Amino acid sequence: MNVKVVSDLEIATDRTLVGALSWGDTVDIDFRLDDYANRAEVLNALDYIQYTGGLTNTAEALSRLRTQMFWTSSRPGAILPGSSDNQF
């Protein structure tokens, strides 16, 4: 996880919101955009994300991001590292 990027953000409920979604063979929402209200909470939560391995099912990850992260949080915004194994 690129903690440096998050460390440089002004994270607050009225500023930047951060959510995390990890994917490999499966897609997991690690935390939603409105789960944490400050940088320290987000950085702590990032420490608990486990690498699951497998393929990078980016198509499913983007679908889950759109349908379960953006629409259930107060404002959209995400950081999406990695590359896809899917062909478009």
* Residues 36, 52: Cα–Cα separation, whole Å: 23
Q: What is the CATH number of the domain that holds 24?
A: 3.40.50.410
The model's confidence at residue 57, banded by pLDDT at 50, 70 and 90, is confident
For residue 85, tell me if it sits in a domain.
no
Q: Give the pair of three-digit tokens for residue 8.
A: 């440089």
Q: Domain count for the chain, please give it.
A: 1
State which residues form the domain around 29. Answer: 3-70
For residue 87, tell me if it sits in a domain.
no
Number of helices (H), then strands (E), belonging to the chain: the values are 3, 2
Average pLDDT, rounded, for the chain: 79
For residue 77, tell me if it sits in a domain.
no
For residue 83, tell me if it sits in a domain.
no
Integer CA distances (angstroms), 50 to 5, 10, 18, 22, 23, in order: 18, 25, 17, 9, 10
The mean pLDDT of 70-74, rounded to a whole number, is 56
Let me know: does 75 contact 33? Beta carbons within 8 Å. Answer: yes
pTM attached to this predicted model: 0.71
Q: What is the pLDDT of residue 67?
A: 85
